[in-house]
Amino acid sequence: MNQEDKPRRRNPKALLVAVWRRFKSLLIIHDDTDIEATIASIRRSVEFRGINIWILFFAIIIASIGLNVNSTAVIIGAMLISPLMGPINGIGLAVGTFDMKLLQRSIRNLGIMVGISLLASTVYFILSPLSDAQSELLARTRPTIFDVLIATFGGLAGIVAASRKEQPFTVISGVAIATALMPPLCTAGFGLATLQFNYFFGAFYLFFINSFFIALATFLMVRYLKFPVNKFVDPKREKIVKRSIMFFTILVMIPSLFTAISVVKESAFNSQVIKFVNDLQKNDVLKDSQIISYDKLYDKKSPTLTLTIIGEEVSPAMMDTLRQIMLNDYSLSSTQLKVRQTSHIITGGDQADILAGLLVDREQQIREQEIEIASLKDSIQTGGPSKYAEVARTIGEKYHTTIEEIAITENTFFNPHTKKYQSVPTIYVKWHGPENAAVRSELSTWVPVLLGVEQVRIISE
Q: What is the C-alpha to C-alpha distance for residues 167 and 163, in angstroms, rounded to an integer?
A: 7
362-460 fold: GMP Synthetase; Chain A, domain 3 (3.30.300)
Q: pLDDT of 334-349, one tens digit each?
A: 788 888 775 444 444 4
Per-residue confidence (pLDDT) for residue 377, from 0 to 100:
55
Do 25-233 and 362-460 share a fold?
Answer: no
In this predicted structure, the answer to whether residue 403 has a pLDDT above a threshold of 60 is yes
Secondary structure (DSSP) of 341-403: -SSEEEESSSS---EE-----HHHHHHHHHHHHHHHHHHSPSSHHHHHHHHHHHHHHHTTTTE
The vertex-167 CA angle with 164 and 168, nearest 5°, equals 120
Mean of pLDDT over the chain: 75
Q: pLDDT of 188-244, one tens digit each?
A: 888 888 888 888 888 888 888 888 888 888 888 888 888 887 765 567 776 777 777
Q: State the helix-helix crossing angle for 182-193 and 72-81, rounded to 10 degrees.
A: 110
Q: pLDDT of 274-306, one tens digit each?
A: 888 888 877 767 776 777 777 887 777 778 888
CA-based R_g, the chain, Å: 31
Overall average pLDDT of the 399-425 stretch: 78
In this predicted structure, the answer to whether residue 407 has a pLDDT above a threshold of 60 is yes
Q: Worst-scoring range by mean pLDDT, 262-276, 280-294, 305-319?
A: 280-294
In this predicted structure, the answer to whether residue 441 has a pLDDT above a threshold of 50 is yes
Per-residue CA distances from 191 to 75, 141, 289 (Å): 18, 10, 46
Sign of the CA dihedral running 328, 330, 336, 341 = negative
No. of helices (H) and no. of strands (E), the chain = 16, 8
Q: Worst-scoring range by mean pLDDT, 11-15, 83-87, 226-230, 318-322?
A: 11-15
What is the enclosing helix (H) or strand (E) of 6?
A: none
- Non-local (6+) Cβ contacts of 311 within 8 A are 286, 288, 289, 290
CATH no. of 25-233: 1.20.1080
Q: Where along the chain do its domains lie? A: 25-233, 267-356, 362-460
Q: Is 292 helix (H, G, I), strand (E, B) or coil?
A: strand
The β-bridge relationship of strands 304-311 and 336-340 is: parallel
What are residue 338's DSSP bridge partners? 306, 347
Overall average pLDDT of the 153-158 stretch: 82
Q: What is the C-alpha to C-alpha distance for residues 67 and 211, in angstroms, rounded to an integer?
A: 20
Q: pLDDT of 80-138, one tens digit each?
A: 777 888 888 888 888 888 777 888 888 899 899 899 889 988 988 888 776 665 555 55
Sign of the CA dihedral running 393, 395, 396, 400 = positive
Q: Worst-scoring range by mean pLDDT, 77-86, 164-173, 180-189, 238-247?
A: 164-173
| pLDDT winner (highest mean) among 49-53, 298-302, 382-386 | 49-53
